[in-house]
Every structure is written in C-alpha cells, then in structure tokens.
Structure 1
Amino acid sequence: MKYSLIIICFLFLCSCEKKKKISSIHTENWSKRAAAINDVDSLVYGKSYLSVYSQIYSISGEKTQNLTAMVSLRNVSETDTIYVLKADYYDTHGKSIRRYFEHPIYLAPLETTEIIIDQLDIYGGTGSNFIFEWKIPQNAPEPLFEGIMTSILGINGLSFTREARRLE
C-alpha cells in the first residue's frame, strides 16, 4: 500500500510537468525587428515560395519520420537594409497554420534570422510551405530564403535543403 501511494504521487508529479512548446515562435525576436515602411519609399515588392518538410515518408507510404526545419531568412546585400512583410506557414493541404509576425521586420546588411519548426510540430505534414512577402531598395539583391531539414534517429542522420523561388 505504501509503495502504491509513492508510485501514484510520482506519476502525478510527472504529469504536472510543463509541456514543451512544439514550435519555436520567438515573438520577442520579431518585435525587436519591427519596421515602419513609408508608402512613398521607392522599394521593390516581391513574393517568394519555400517548400519545407516537417515530415517525410520513410520505408513506405504509410510510415513517416518527423524532421526539424530551420527556415533561414537572409539579407544578401552588403549595403542595404531589406524588409520582410510576411512569413506565412501552410500545411500539405494549403491550409494556413500560422503567420510568424504581424508587422514588417527589417534585416540589416548581411543579417540572417531564423524560424525553427520543432521536430514535434508536425502540423505542416509532408508538403508544408511558406510564402514570404518582402520589399527591397531598387537594385538591391533579392533576399534568400532557405529551408534546412534535419533528423537524427539513433546513429543515423538525415539532412537536406530547399531554396525559395520568386513568385512575383
């Protein structure tokens, strides 16, 4: 009886542990990068598409393996600040999962910031994707958006990358 009570107390304490967030949405990072863009600024508008994978098929079409995805937002200009207006994440079926910031953010010359999609965050499925909207000064190089997917299972590692393509 005494041991049963100890086990029940232990299980209760373990179940009260805080649950881990399943996506790394660092809102403090986005608020530090908030930018006000004047409509009279002569900035060039663009839109990019990036495929990312929170899961891939493994062994058969019935078994999946979860991945961690790092989405890299890069300003490749050595001189100009650029602005990312939106970073919207969609699942395999095209359904919106989340918008990462509600206001434009800036990236200083050669600066990079990331969005991390945790290995436990499988909302995107096997065909998730991002749409980025951005503005850059005329004659500045376009931003670079990359997805780096990784997984470690036992002693095996898996990683691959995807690069965004411009839509508009």
Structure 2
Amino acid sequence: MKKYMVVFAVIALVASCMQEKEISSINPENWSKREITVPTKDSLVHGKSYLSIYSQIYSSSEHKTHNLTAMVSLRNTSEKDTIYLLKGAYFDTHGAALRSYFKHPIYLAPLETTEIIIDEMDVEGGTGSNFIFEWKTPVGCPEPLFEGVMNSTVGQQGLSFTTQSRRIQ
C-alpha cells in the first residue's frame, strides 16, 4: 500500500509541475469589456505617462538578483469624469517592447481602478522595466495615476516598495 501511495504522490507532483503557469495578467476579458471608441475630433486632453517597474532587483551584488511580483495600478482620480486609456505598453531594461496590454482604447469610470499583474516568475522586464501609458481626459479633469507596487515574500523575508508615474507629454 505504501508503494502505491508513493507512486501516486510522485505522479501528482509531476502533473502539478507540468501545468503552464500564468506569468502575466493579460486577461483579454478584462480589457475587452472596457473597450470604447474615442471620437477623433474631441475636446479631450491627451497625455503620456512613464512608470518604472522592477521585475527583479539586485541582491548582495550585481551578479545576484531577486525576483518580484509587480502590480501596476491604473487609477482614475476624478470623482465625476470617465477617462480613456489609449495605450499600455511594457518595455524591458533595454527599452525593447515586450507587450501591449490593450489593443483598443479602454475606459475607467470615476474613481475606478484596474490592475496589471506581472508574476514573480516573469523576469523578462529585468531590473529596469517600465510602462508607457497614453490617455485622454476631459478638460479640467485630474490626470490618471499609475502606480507600481512590487513585492516578494520568500521564507520569512518580505520586501515591498512602490513607484509612481510621471507625465512625459
């Protein structure tokens, strides 16, 4: 009986290791339900923001890195206006484009937030990854806020820190 239990445990372990793990939250349903058409001729203010993200940080020396989970928070700071996000592009340390998170403009209702999660195992971005967000807001509306929350918990050690976007146009 012990022999069968050991064989079953080994098979279960191998099967769980073979499952493909999600490495980033590119959930098309999240973006497709938010799709909207923004008129080309409008009175909206156009802006672009840069957000630094860290998939990895150096630990002990430049030869050892520590992987992080990153939550990118996309926030509408207006209490009354809907805003529009036109682009959410992710770049690696060297500036190479890795992926775009939505193909069509999406909206965020007043005070609404949505997130992008970069899994701890997704180290493609490296130590200097970043996002570029393009957005449109009604005249007089506050700018959207993009924040990064990076964290990791390994054993009894916990690490977390945040970054905030800067408008670049």
TM-score normalized by the length of structure 2: 0.91
**2:14 corresponds to:** 14
Amino acid at match of 1:113: T
**2:104 corresponds to:** 103
- Counting only pairs closer than 5 Å after superposition, residues 106-145 of structure 1 correspond to structure 2 as 106-145=107-146
CA 1:51–1:35 in structure 2 vs 1: closer, same or farther (change >3 Å)? same
| 1:18-38 deviation digits (Å, cap 9, x = unpaired) | 211111211100000001101
Distance, in Å, in 2 between the alignment partners of 1:148 and 1:47 is 20
| 1:92-136 deviation digits (Å, cap 9, x = unpaired) | 000000000100000000000000000000000000000000000
Say which SS state the counterpart of residue 106 (structure 1) adopts: strand
Say which SS state the counterpart of residue 111 (structure 2) adopts: coil
Say which SS state the counterpart of residue 53 (structure 1) adopts: coil
**1:66 corresponds to:** 67
Distance apart, 1:14 and its partner CA: 1.6
Distance, in Å, in 2 between the alignment partners of 1:91 and 1:13 is 33
Point out 4+ residue stretches in structure 1 off by more than 2 angstroms.
10-13
Distance apart, 1:15 and its partner CA: 5.1
**1:153 corresponds to:** 154
Distance, in Å, in 2 between the alignment partners of 1:98 and 1:163 is 20
Distance, in Å, in 2 between the alignment partners of 1:52 and 1:12 is 36
Report the RMSD for the aligned CA atoms in angstroms. 1.8
Tell me, which stretches of 5 or more residues in structure 1 are unaligned?
A: none
Distance, in Å, in 2 between the alignment partners of 1:29 and 1:141 is 24
Tell me, which stretches of 5 or more residues in structure 2 are unaligned?
A: none
**2:55 corresponds to:** 54
Distance apart, 1:40 and its partner CA: 1.9
Give the share of equivalent positions with the same residue, in percent.
Answer: 64
Distance, in Å, in 1 between the alignment partners of 2:55 and 2:70 is 6
Distance, in Å, in 2 between the alignment partners of 1:90 and 1:11 is 39
Say which SS state the counterpart of residue 132 (structure 2) adopts: strand
Distance, in Å, in 1 between the alignment partners of 2:142 and 2:88 is 19
